[in-house]
Structure 1
Amino acid sequence: MAGRVIAITGAFGILGSAVAKAAAAQGASLALIDAAKAPLGVGVGEGALVLAETDLTDPVQVGAAMAAIGERYGRIDALLNIAGGFVWEKIEGQDPSRWADLFRLNVVTAANASRAAIPHLRKSRHGRIVNVGSAAALKAGAGMGAYSAAKAGVHALTQALAEELKGDGITVNAVLPSIIDTPANRADMPDTDPAVWVAPDDLAAVILFLASEASTAVTGSLVPVTGRV
């Protein structure tokens, strides 16, 4: 990853932070994009371009963020679409707006970021887009209808973009995690052994492989990363 320019959406969250730290340790130049305010110290050392309070559902703001990355670094080598949202809620009695909300947080954010990044990715010799889907989109459980449907949209977006960008030498893939070991998931499921879940660092390693020059032969793939669940 040394010398590669990596743009990460959702960079201040648990997974985004793990990916950013791992990429920085491997020598990548980082652009950290998030809707939240920048935390005190992003944990990746000095030099990262921090683009906080960026609404990824707004194509104008996303375009401005990608333009700032292009101005700073001259190109983008990999876009990692980690931003997203999750709600567990059964369909009966559900607020109907939940479906649109989760589609916007998961699919629209990835589509906006990808669309705006493509011109900058074309300047790379090994352009990459890596999305975060979900194993739950392959088999949804109770309370997972809206979330799983949204992540299925991410899977379709991944495969469509892979076909559209083949001629540009840009690969597009998605990781499909099961339960990620986060403080929130530990609090919500205290009786489950988190050792069987997916550690953020382990998921980050797969994401960074797909973002690397070594993954040239892989595109349009939906890669399960399910730990021992």
Structure 2
Amino acid sequence: MSTSWLLRCGLVAGVLVPAVLWADGATRSGYSLWRHGASQLGIGERAWLQTANFLLGALLLSLFAIGLRRVLRTGRGATWGPILIATAAAGLAVAGLVPTDPALGYPPGQPEGLTAAGGVHQVGGLALFAGLSAAAFVLAGRLGEASHAWARYLRLAGALVIAFAFAAGIAYPLDTLGIWRPAPAGLLEHLSLLAGFSWIIAVAVRLLRCRATVSAGRGEEAHRAG
């Protein structure tokens, strides 16, 4: 697979995963985008859709990590950037393969409580959010060498991923305990994912444009030489 196609995999993953999550959540009976976590779409009716979404997204992110490694080659972020994106991909795959536990009344009528499978799912989610956040900070150093604006954007994106995820982690127990009901745990988690996948899209587009510019320049030089 060419490097350009590998980079496009990141673009597709960035659009696909959040779009399917929001579309499914907005149309599923009993599910609240405000209250319920993204992972809860992997249980209940149409659970297969999010399982497929997470697994396909994990595959696309993994391919993007390979493409990123090819483009960066050496220097700052060349090793850890792709590794952290691959970590996020692994977390997404675990989240798809191991469903979370029912919670906050979804799916309706199912008993709630933490199980071993739910614990494994949480570890996968942690890897996803940590990987997306850390990779943004690592790549900020590399892409920031050519543009301070890119450095600021990626650092902001990385901070938003972890801040929204952390806030969701606080809102969830507040809702469970009845202190704040309904708390916006679901919305905060969705925003964290959106921030993470948005920067993946932005970086993929930038790298594809850079490659296109370089290819066009080489083609022009070859034409002149001919």
TM-score norm. by structure 2 comes to 0.31
**Which structure has more helix as a fraction of its residues?**
2
Q: Which structure has the bigger radius of gyration? A: 2
**Which structure has more strand as a fraction of its residues?**
1
